[in-house]
Structure formats: C-alpha cells, structure tokens
Amino acid sequence: MISFTLARVIHVLAVILWIGGVAMVTTVIIPAVKKLKSPEEQIKTFETLEGRFAIQAKVTTLLTGLSGFYMLYAIDGWSRYLEIKFWWIHAMTLVCILFTLVLYVLEPLVLHKMFKKYVQKNPEKTFFFIQKAHWVLLLLSLITTAGVVAGSHGWFWIK
C-alpha cells in the first residue's frame, strides 16, 4: 500500500497542474482569444489550446480524485462527510465531480456541439459565457484549496 504522504504528494501535484491550468485558461487564454479579429481565428485558437489542456485536465482530475479517496480510505475519514467543520472535504469532492462531469461527459457529448453552434451565431456572447463559467469554477477551486490547507492544519473556519 502506498503511504498516506505519497498520496498527498500526488494529490497536491495533480491539483497544481489542474487548477493552475484552469487559471491560465481563465485569466490569459480566453481574454487573448476574445481579442482576436475574426470569429474563425477565435474558434480555431480556442479549440486548439482548450483541446490540448482538456487531455491534461482529464489525467490530473482523475489522479486528484483517486489520491483523494485513497487518503480518505487510509485515514478512515468517511465520517468527515457528516461534519460541517470538514466542509472542505465536501467542497473538494464537489469540485472533482463537477470537472469530471464536464471533461468526461458534458464536453464531448454536449458542450462541444453547443459551442460550435452558438459561436457561429454570436461569438462575443459565447466567449463571455465561457469566461464567466471558468471564473466560477476557478474561484470555487481556489476557495476549496484555501479551506483544505487551513483545515488540514487545524484552522477550522466553521466549528
């Protein structure tokens, strides 16, 4: 069995690559794409960059989830789901489920087609919506990270 600490190392490295990438897409790539002249250029550039990151994000999301559940198993921490003071365990699980749904199910089956359809009709509105959605996911992930780092070292924000 791998050690709890090795699982935490894998967990934190996966989170850095994943959420760091989300921050790059949200604060650098989408604003830059929105400034490109033609909708064709915007679509091609966004799909190329987002497409490459999606592969990475699938791997790092999976690693985060597996190492996270392994840590819960290793410390027999399942009862934490019953205590509000461990809200960051719920938050981590929610963020992981949300991204997994988007990356593995919604994006390939629904969102990609919707993007293609709406970006032709109204590229500005489509990228406005995509950016807002990324900001929500990024802020949720950053608040979760702050909460778990504080909580797992004894600083409980909710008693």
Stretch that binds ligand HEM, among 7-15, 27-35, 39-47, 123-131 (CB under 6 A): 7-15
Q: Is 72 in the site for ligand HEM (CB under 6 A)?
A: yes
Exposure on the CB side of residue 15, measured as CA atoms within 13 A: 22
Nearer to ligand HEM, 45 or 93 (CB): 93
3-state secondary structure the chain: CCCHHHHHHHHHHHHHHHHHHHHHHHHHHHHHHHCCCCHHHHHHHHHHHHHHHHHHHHHHHHHHHHHHHHHHHHCCCHHHHHCHHHHHHHHHHHHHHHHHHHHHHHHHHHHHHHHHHHHHHCHHHHHHHHHHHHHHHHHHHHHHHHHHHHHCCCCCCCC
Stretch that binds ligand HEM, among 39-47, 51-59, 89-97, 120-128 (CB under 6 A): 89-97
Q: Give the residue, chosen from 10, 43, 96, 130, that forms a contact with ligand HEM under the rule CB under 6 A.
A: 96
Q: Is 93 in the site for ligand HEM (CB under 6 A)?
A: yes
Min CB(91)–ligand HEM separation in Å: 8
**Contact letters for ligand HEM, residues 45-64 (x by CB under 6 A):** -------------------x
Q: Which residues bind ligand HEM (CB under 6 A)?
A: 8, 11-12, 15, 19, 64-65, 68-69, 71-72, 77, 92-93, 95-96, 141, 144-145, 148-149, 152-153
